[in-house]
Amino acid sequence: MSALLSITGVSKAFGGLQALSGITLAVNAGEIFGLIGPNGAGKTTLFNTLTGLYRIDSGEIRLGDARLDTAKPHQVLQRGLARTFQNIRLFAHMTALENVLVGRHARTRSGVLGAVLRTSATRAEEADSRLRAQALLRRVGIGQHAERLAKHLSYGDQRRLEIARALASEPKILALDEPAAGMNPAERTALSELLLQLKADGLTLLLIEHDVKLVMGLCDRLAVLDYGVKIAEGTPDAVCRDPLVIAAYLGDETL
């Protein structure tokens, strides 16, 4: 298996706080890779460095051949990493369909002139985008809500819409920031099913999650962060038994 996303020796400090120190990870194509850790472990910081919101102090992040650590957020998406947000960030006053159409932005070209003259190229592009967007809404199971405003969707459906919007950009890897946060058990199960289907379609997923149970059931491999350091990496079973991980989550018994 080849590494699709490789994070090499990434460090990031905020003033005196070392949020990440020398993190090295590799996510392989076609797998679901989980990133877990207690509160304040640096999961979200790592996520934000991946998506271009923070500049890293040292190290390198690559997606295939493309550098991500020097890219701006919109370039990160163009290079093939799409994300969702921990606290859902949809375009609340746009319809579900329009939200997904915005996700097509990076994969479409038409500009002001094309829009004003409505050239055949623009019309074809728009029609194609609409077809794809509708298909994606159905794909995540909210096809019937295409014309509803994003803010009026239920919580679980909003999470789904965020995934559909990210998928619209045809990413190589989809990064999900705590997708199950605030979900009830039924929604959680439905979400795992959706993510497994996406994996079956050949998509690579990077999952940051608080909920250990969900991660254990879903991920092929896991990395555990604690205080900005990677303390374990491997299959869920191996990680579960790792004494360092147990100590990080449950406290050190020897103390």
Partner 1 sequence: MREALTRNRAWIGYVALAIGLALLPFLVDAGMGRTWVRLLDFALLYVMLALGLNIVVGNAGLLDLGYVAFYALGAYVYAWLASPHFGLHLPFWVVLPLGAALAGAFGAILGAPTLRLRGDYLAIVTLGFGEIIRIFMNNLNAPVNITNGPQGINLIDPVSVGGVSLSQMHTVSGLSFSGAHQYYYLFLLLTLAVIFISMRLENSRIGRAWVAIREDEIAAAAMGINTRNLKLLAFAMGATFGGLAGGLFASFQGFISPESFNLMESIMILCMIVLGGMGHIPGVIFGAVVLTLLPEALRYTGDVQRSLLGQIVIDPADLRMLLFGVALVVVMLYRPAGLIPSARRRRELEASGAILDQEQASLADELK
The contact set with partner 1 (CB under 8 A) reads 51, 53, 72-74, 76-78, 82-83, 85, 89-94, 98, 101-108, 110-112, 114-116, 118, 122, 125-126, 129, 149, 151-152, 165-166, 169
Question: Could you tell me the smallest distance in angstroms from the CB atom of residue 77 to partner 1?
Answer: 4
Separation of alpha carbons 157 and 163, rounded Å:
10
Nearest to 164 by CA among 176, 182, 154, 152: 176
21 or 129: CB nearest partner 1: 129
CA-CA-CA-CA torsion for 78, 198, 201, 149, nearest 10 degrees?
-60
Separation of alpha carbons 64 and 54, rounded Å:
20
The separation between CA 181 and the C-alpha centre of its own chain, rounded to angstroms, equals 14
77 or 191: CB nearest partner 1: 77
125 or 220: CB nearest partner 1: 125
Question: Could you tell me the smallest distance in angstroms from the CB atom of residue 4 to partner 1?
Answer: 19
Question: Could you tell me the smallest distance in angstroms from the CB atom of residue 211 to partner 1?
Answer: 23
Question: Could you tell me the smallest distance in angstroms from the CB atom of residue 237 to partner 1?
Answer: 34
Sheet holding 221-226, edge to edge: 81-83, 173-177, 204-208, 32-36, 221-226, 229-234
Question: Could you tell me the smallest distance in angstroms from the CB atom of residue 8 to partner 1?
Answer: 23
Task: Give the relative orientation of helices 120-139 and 155-167 as an angle to the nearest 10 degrees.
Answer: 140
Question: Could you tell me the smallest distance in angstroms from the CB atom of residue 232 to partner 1?
Answer: 29
21 or 122: CB nearest partner 1: 122
5 or 222: CB nearest partner 1: 5
DSSP state for residue 213 in the 8-state scheme? H
90 or 203: CB nearest partner 1: 90
Backbone angles phi and psi of 104, in degrees to 5: -80, -10
